[in-house]
Amino acid sequence: MKEGKLIIFSAPSGSGKTTIVRHLLGLPELNLEFSISATSRAPRGEEEDGKHYYFISLKDFKQHIKNDDFVEWEEVYRDNFYGTLKTEVERIWAMGKHVIFDIDVVGGLRIKKKFPEQTLAVFVKPPSVDELKIRLKKRKTESEDKINMRIAKASVELATAPQFDKIIKNYDLDVALAEAEELVADFIGIKKKEA
């Protein structure tokens, strides 16, 4: 099995990493495939199993941990686990593609530590914590308490930024998208066409 590259985008919730990852996935020349995370939490809204996440019961998730089935995993909130199954990375590499992750900072840094030569770890920095709060409220998907938990977590996550290979400041989305494209193309060895 030919191993590809691992491209990680991590950031506090609301920083724009998902928007950046979706944009990169839309560029066929980058040959990327999205790594679907496993989670013990219940689906939200329109989320589908096997498309947005692999939804696994808490009991089964803990069994996968015991079996060493994860590249990385974390208990993000109490009894709320997220992780990357080894089989998911192998599935993507078997397709001859590079793996792109939209993942929290702890998971991102764990993957980087496990595969230092194959991994590009990018931290997406929001304009400010206040801006993050505005973005999270605009989503209208979570309670005020949950938003406050995410904001408290964001301060801790922002402190990890220097541990990443690159930092993209998402003050202007078009600039951030162009920067992300260039970083990934360079990392996987593709020369971008001049516009």
How far is 145 from 34, CA to CA, in rounded Å? 30
Arithmetic mean of pLDDT, 123-134: 85
* Residue predicted with more confidence, 124 or 132: 124
Q: Encode pLDDT of 30-61 as tens digits.
A: 999 999 999 999 998 899 999 989 999 999 99
The structural domain count of the chain equals 1
Instruction: Return the CATH number at 130.
Output: 3.40.50.300
Joined together, the tokens standing for residue 173 give 């989305």
193 in a structural domain: no
| Residue 53: inside a domain | yes
The fraction of the chain above a pLDDT of 70, given in percent, is 97
In a domain, 26, yes or no: yes
Q: Is the predicted pLDDT of residue 110 greater than 90, yes or no?
A: yes
Please tell me the predicted confidence (pLDDT) of residue 139.
Answer: 80
Amino acid at 59: K
Range of the domain at 124: 6-188
For residue 71, give Cα distances in angstroms to 77, 83, 114, 157: 19, 7, 8, 20
In this predicted structure, the answer to whether residue 126 has a pLDDT above a threshold of 50 is: yes
Q: Is 32 part of any domain?
A: yes
Look at residue 189 in the predicted model and tell me its pLDDT: 92
Cβ burial, residue 123 (10 Å; 0-12/13-18/19+): buried
What torsion do the CA atoms of 162, 153, 178, 122 make, to the nearest 10 degrees? 40
Is the pLDDT assigned to residue 122 strictly greater than 50? yes
With respect to residue 33, please indicate whether it lies within any of the assigned structural domains. yes
Q: Is residue 191 classed exposed, middle or buried when 0-12, 13-18 and 19+ CB atoms within 10 A define those classes?
A: exposed
Distance CA 55, CA 48 (A): 9
Q: Is this model's pTM higher than 0.85 or not? A: yes
In a domain, 1, yes or no: no
121 falls within a domain: yes
| Residue 96 C-alpha from the chain's centroid | 20
pLDDT number for residue 132:
80
